[in-house]
Structure 1
């Protein structure tokens, strides 16, 4: 009998199209004068991006500095590099220099987080604990579903990942563990101070003028038997005319709180892009708990609807209208966001799903069943008032499932009299990636809350 966790292993689909590798521009200069080459790179940052070639594509050159102490250097770009493509993502070394390089030809709107894995020539192992708990779980899952002849390559890939670090010359960082490449045509980021909307980060009791507050609390779920942190962002501006607060429930809340999300929300609410709303960021605890709870788990949905929202209502005057209660998530969280609205339509009427795992459950261990959520939607008595889906063009394991789910929601919504356009799917040039999710979150929130009252209207 399969263990429940095996149902959350994505289907084993190999990439059929890989990014085009091309010759690295300017590499001859690196061979002639490596020090001058590196001075130029350091001045501009990495990766080195070429001009539009007239077809909407650019060269993107990734670099690493190292000598004979390295046996290999592997680029680990989100959903571009994987265990099946290690050879395709190995950098080349300019002979006699410390210049390692790899160049892709990519569409102008590509965005991805990435790391670089310099593999030592002496075979020294990576520091103990170099792989995160999530990556160790991915390794176990990948080996579990790999064909026997592919397992050594999968193991070598994860051994390389243990050496992966951020690019020290990158212009952008995702966090302390990864860098980001954003080509000029990628959707604009509102997270950077240069965007003009992001307020300074702050702690409760030290908020600058116009900033809201973030309150952390520990909440025990009787239905789940565990205790987690939730962070509640309350903006400085309240809903107009004393109306109750609308609510946004954001899964994997620890990632959004750490970003931090609150300053962005303050800026978007202040300029009228978003309405005043309470945003509740829900911690997902550890990878094993997350895997269990964010896979259409009825106990977790009961926790959200029967424990979290009443707890919030005891502390704030919150709306009871499901059309003013939004649940949002990414990956398995995106699946659960829609499942929560399906199971509790009287509580959740708006859904934001980024890279939702709508392939779930894994067909190989579920008796041939897959894409359960689309089947549930097709026979549902109701569907959410609005749904915003997004998925990356490089997410080959779930893009088509998101498209089919969008069609199922639109068809059932039409049968039930929903307005045309109540469900949308945005496809972006990226992968299963927090760098893409943080860029796309505001657009999803704007669509789902466009009929909530803004200040100044």
Structure 2
């Protein structure tokens, strides 16, 4: 049976106070006059339709859906823009007498987000059984658990709509089989993006795409990815791990540096290996073994990635020795990093704090440094910042990143950065050992995959090439 989610891992419920500005949709008059010609133009350019900079660094961004009287609502579900408190704000309007549903936001030109569209049927028919993913079902459970009684009907309505959510069929970019992506022209380039069928360093995408990489960049030497099932005595479970070994080895026969990536199934399925091959081939990253560690099911992930000592012991005393038996890996913590997102970002920093002899570098994307939930701990929150303030040592380098739309954790990331900087100064460390990147996005794999190379470069710039 599924294990209950510990309530102290439920993020604090903070209602968004500022929402994106809705503006009139450019082209709505043309859609009313000739819907077929309107759709032909949209199909040629893809969606969303992105307008010109208005002189303030913002652009109109128009999302569209094609449907008729069979629909009661069409809801745009953009990461950290849409939530249970904003159902009406994210409803598309229908051009009367047409099959054109539309919604236009005025957004800063560096915005990136994954999104889906939820066409809600007029007959009230429920979505097929199992339409909500395991993670979305967990989010529903969490949201209802922390919602005020008067807000619970709105939360339930929101998740009922999410059950109908699908990718945008005309989107220029896809996150995976379940979601689309919008990347405005000034958003950071996505180095992972395939060119000629392969990921290549230097490629930029979306509305800001350039000419692409050279032929040499398109075909870096392929590394090898091996898959194994790793049994953990400490955790009492078994999980899949994927190990990427690049074609280039460390110079002079030196042992392999190691990068441990949590939530490894997401990274393996990207796929991450071609990106690593390209970045190592062009010297952006040094040769290193990358081990991607599966997180099993949501309940197990939530338990293990909440500053769990047993999980840190698994990483240091089971995973790394297992890897060392198969490859000549370094024992230098300054050449060993751990990376994660959300609770995984919290765990990455906690692992470097608790096991500094093994993990000297940490990469945290959207780290859940609000943890634990103050509402269920009698007042305690942001434990990681408190641990850092009293630490005997700090990691060699730490790279944090968080989205400007992550209102529940952005300030906590800033406070952790400040705590790390202050403690580092006390210990005589160069203040540049910790960095925080703030991007215009949310709690979003589309942003994480775009930002991962920056964090890896920061952490490995002194590793041997």
What residue number does 2:457 align with? 446
Give SS of 1:227's match: strand
Q: Confirm whether residue 338 of structure 1 aligns to residue 339 of structure 2.
A: no
Q: Report the RMSD for the aligned CA atoms in angstroms.
A: 1.3
| 2:178 is aligned with 1:177 | yes
SS of equivalent residue, structure 2 residue 105: strand
For residue 4 of structure 1, report the CA deviation from its aligned partner.
6.3
Distance 2:39 2:5 in 1: 50
Shift of 1:195: 9.6
User: Shift of residue 191 of structure 1?
Assistant: 1.6
Q: Deviations over 1:53-108 (max 9, x none)?
A: 01000000000000000000000000000001111000000010000000000000
* Number of aligned positions between the proteins: 445
Is structure 2 residue 135 aligned with structure 1 residue 134? Answer: yes
Deviation track 1:169-203 (CA, whole Å, cap 9, x = no partner) reads: 00000000000000000001112234998269xxx
Relative distance call for 1:195 and 1:419 in structure 2 (3 A) is farther
- Return closer, same or farther for 1:289/1:399 CA change in 2, 3 Å cut-off: same
User: Could you tell me whether the CA contact under 8 Å between 1:197 and 1:267 is conserved in 2?
Assistant: no
Which residue of structure 2 aligns with residue 112 of structure 1? Answer: 113
Which residue of structure 1 lines up, in the alignment, with residue 338 of structure 2? 327
Gap regions ≥5 residues in structure 2:
202-218
Task: Name 2:427's counterpart in structure 1.
Answer: 416
Q: State the shift of 1:285 in Å.
A: 0.3
Matched, 1:227 2:238: yes
Question: 1:210, CA displacement in angstroms?
Answer: 1.2
| 1:156 to 2:157 alignment | yes
| 1:197–1:128 CA distance, 2 compared to 1 (3 A) | closer
1:421 partner SS: helix
Q: Is 1:263 matched up with 2:264?
A: no
Gaps spanning 5+ residues in structure 1: where? 201-207
Partner of 2:81: 80
2:377 to 363, 366, 375: 366
Q: Is the 8 A contact 1:190 1:198 kept in 2?
A: yes
Partner of 2:250: 239
Task: Provide the TM-score with structure 1 as the length reference.
Answer: 0.96
CA separation in 1, counterparts of 2:198 and 2:97? 47
Residue 109 of structure 1 contacts residue 185 of structure 1 at CA under 8 Å; is this kept in 2? yes
Give TM-score, length-normalised by structure 2.
Answer: 0.94
Deviation at 1:270, TM superposition (A): 0.3
- Taking structure 1 as reference, are residues 195 and 269 closer, same or farther at Cα in structure 2, changes over 3 Å only? farther
CA offsets 1:316-372 (integer angstroms, 9 cap, x no match)? 111101000000000000000000011100000000000000000000001100000
Q: Any idea what SS the aligned residue of 1:400 has?
A: helix
1:424 Cα deviation (Å)?
0.4
Runs of 4+ in structure 1 deviating by more than 3 angstroms, as ranges, are 194-197
- Secondary structure of the equivalent of 1:153? helix
